Amino acid sequence: MRPCHSSDAGVIAFGLGMATVAGLGPLALKVIQFRTSARIETQFTGGDIVSLAVVAPISIAAGVHWPSDHPLAPAVALAPAVDAVSTSTSVIARQEHGRYDGNVEPFSRSMPGW
C-alpha cells in the first residue's frame, strides 16, 4: 500500500516550522520575547538549540523517507511531535505575565501544542 503523500509533506513542514520558531526566539533573531526570568530564558534557548540541531532534522528526515515506505518513518516522525508537546507545555507553564514584559502571545499559534 502506497503511503499518503500529505503525511510526508506534513512531517517536513513540521520540521521546518520547529526550526523557524526556534530561530525567532532568543537564540537567533530575538523576535519572540518570553515573559520569564533570564535563567528560564536560558533554558528556552537550550531547547531552541535542541530543536534546531536534533528535532527539526529528525522530522525532516522522517518526511523524506516516508514516501519510500520506510518502516521506521512513522515511528521516527512521532519523536519530534512528542518533543514539541513537551516543550510547548513547558513554555506555557513558565510564562510570568505579571512580572516580566514580553510578546510571546502573538506567536502562540505558531508553537506546536498551544
The whole-model pTM stands at 0.86
Mean pLDDT (the chain, rounded): 88
Give the whole-angstrom CA distance, residue 21 versus residue 107: 9
The vertex-74 CA angle with 83 and 5, nearest 5°, equals: 115
Backbone angles phi, psi at 106, to 5 degrees: -60, -20
What pLDDT band is residue 114 in, cutting at 50, 70 and 90?
Answer: very low
- Nearby residues of 49 by Cβ (< 8 Å), 6 or more positions away: 22, 27
pLDDT tens, residue by residue, 48-93 = 999 999 999 999 999 999 888 888 999 999 999 999 988 888 888 8
With b for 16 or more beta-carbon neighbours within 10 A and e for fewer, the 9-28 pattern comes to: eebbebbebbbebbbbbbbe
**Structural domain of 79:** 5-110
- What is the total count of domains within the chain? 1
